[in-house]
Structure 1
Amino acid sequence: MPIKAILTDIEGTTSAVSFVFDVLFPFAQQNLPHYVRAHASEPAVAAQLEAVRADAEEPQADTERVIAILLEWIAQDRKATPLKALQGMVWAEGYKTGELKGHVYPDAVMALQQWHEAGFALYVYSSGSIQAQQLIFGYSQAGDLTPLFSGYFDTTSGGKREAQSYRNIAEAIGLPANEVVFLSDIVQELDAAQEAGMRTCGVAREGGKLANHFTIRSFAEISAETFYL
């Protein structure tokens, strides 16, 4: 059965994990307090601050307390929806001012362009918010890559280590799972996609083998013809 769609992870796959942890997270941590203070009265931001209060079970928390909670969540690497939304807003400002440029490996850029030209539908599935995904590719060091993609998925589709998430994505794409290949650097994610019926491709940029999955070190090791097998 030929592959018709390619679903890719970001961190460790198309982009360096270090970009998220060494660039994006510190940028958000440094700039989030000022951003929240400056925009707290705007509806989109105010809604997320209310969500923080609800999640923290502190309905009376003032703005400074909410900022403190957010910084605690960043330190804990907590996957809280309002935190991700506010981080996305801070990053969007950083990308638009040119302070941030999304990291995408050159081999990934070339392969994504080739796959798009070959007629494959390209999708992203990451634990980062859809907005964060679009910013990384939209303001990448290689320019705006968003025209290459047909859609984006985050954890609103389900956890990345749960097979049902990949069934949900295949249904949303409108293809049988066995016509979609998923690329990731995490074995448990690949296992879940495989359980859902997807083809898989492990990415081990430092070398090695992701157990039970075809594994590459670089996107350059895959040709478009690979996906017709």
Structure 2
Amino acid sequence: MTGSLTARWVVVDIEGTLTPTSQVHVVLYDYARPRLGPWIDAHPDDEQVRAAVAATKADAGLAADAGTAEVVAVLHSWMDADRKAAPLKTLQGLIWQEGYARRELTSQYFPDAFPALRRWRDGGLRLAVFSSGSVAGQIASFSHSNEGDVTGLFDHHFDTVNAGPKREAPSYRAIAAGLGDPPAREIVFLSDVPAELDAAAEAGWQTVGLARPGEPFAEADFGAHRAIASFDEVEISAGTGDDR
């Protein structure tokens, strides 16, 4: 145990924090990739799809009348670069939502994740999620996890659309407003990405870095942030402030 924290809210990242990166970059990306074009063509009147396609064209400098193949080529390039582009995340989330509903997808989470989240919630903490994946995709994933439907653990979901970029401090201030404006030091953020932790700390939040063995940021420099390999290494209790 590296230490204990007190807070009111715990906000967690998903990829690399709750679930292996391969769950997203291999399982989910491979599921969405061939379905992007057919999904766009099958939902021409869906406002979310239309807005995502228009935003993709605008971002990539495509003509307004560019075809689906051109749009998909851009989306695939963003996937290859792991770009956290909002229109891509929206379309992926819609596709994954249907995949989970069809029981073609089940999300695999680290074995220490849900026991810790349940322990913290039972202890009086409130839980929220901040992920680059869309809110729809988050809820679909938590609805069909390897431990069943765990959506009841979370009070709020945030993504890059309703909060902002994960590596910018204003996004964390927006989330705090969405949580009811608790004092910044009464929020703890857990993520495997040091730059995200830096942004949260700039907004005044407490931070914990996940350096999970085998994950992309396992050997990263977490600087002043607490770094743990498992949720079992830190305890968070309901209260206010930070006992460091």
TM-score (norm. length: structure 2)? 0.84
Give the Å deviation of 1:224. 4.2
Within-5 A mapping of 1:196-211: 196-206=203-213, 210-211=222-223
C-alpha root-mean-square deviation of aligned residues, in Å? 2.3
Aligned position for 1:167? 173
Comparing 58-67 with 115-124, greater Cα deviation is found at: 58-67
The equivalent of 1:13 in structure 2 is: 17
- What's the offset of the Cα at 1:149? 0.5
User: Where does 1:46-195 land on structure 2 (aligned, <5 Å)?
Assistant: 46-56=50-60, 57-156=62-161, 157-174=163-180, 175-195=182-202
Aligned length: 229
Secondary structure of 1:147 counterpart? helix
The answer to which of 114-123 and 36-45 deviates more is 36-45
Report which of the two has the higher share of helix: 1
Q: How far off is 1:205 after superposition?
A: 1.0
CA deviation after TM superposition for structure 1 residue 58, in Å: 1.2
Of stretches 135-144 and 201-210 in structure 1, the one that deviates more from structure 2 is 201-210
1:34-89 deviations in Å (ceiling 9; x for gaps): 22233334444334333333333311113343333333333343333222211111
Q: What is the one-letter code of the residue matched to 1:203?
A: L
Q: Distance in 2 between the 1:148 and 1:127 partners?
A: 19
Quickly say closer, same or farther: Cα 1:45–1:190, change in 2 above 3 A: closer
What's the CA shift for 1:162? Answer: 1.9
Structure 1's unaligned 5+ residue stretches are none
Contact 2:167 2:196 in 1 (8 A): yes
Q: CA deviation at 1:204?
A: 0.8
Change in 2 beyond 3 A, CA 1:46/1:18: same
1:35 aligned partner, one-letter code: W
- How far 1:176 sits from its partner (Å)? 0.6
Range with bigger deviation, 20-29 or 210-219:
210-219
- CA separation in 1, counterparts of 2:210 and 2:123? 21
Between the two structures, name the one with larger relative contact order (CA 8 Å, sep ≥ 6): 2
Residue identity (%): 44
Partners of 2:204 and 2:47 in 1: CA distance: 42
Which segment is superposed worse, 103-112 or 52-61? 52-61
1:215 match: 227
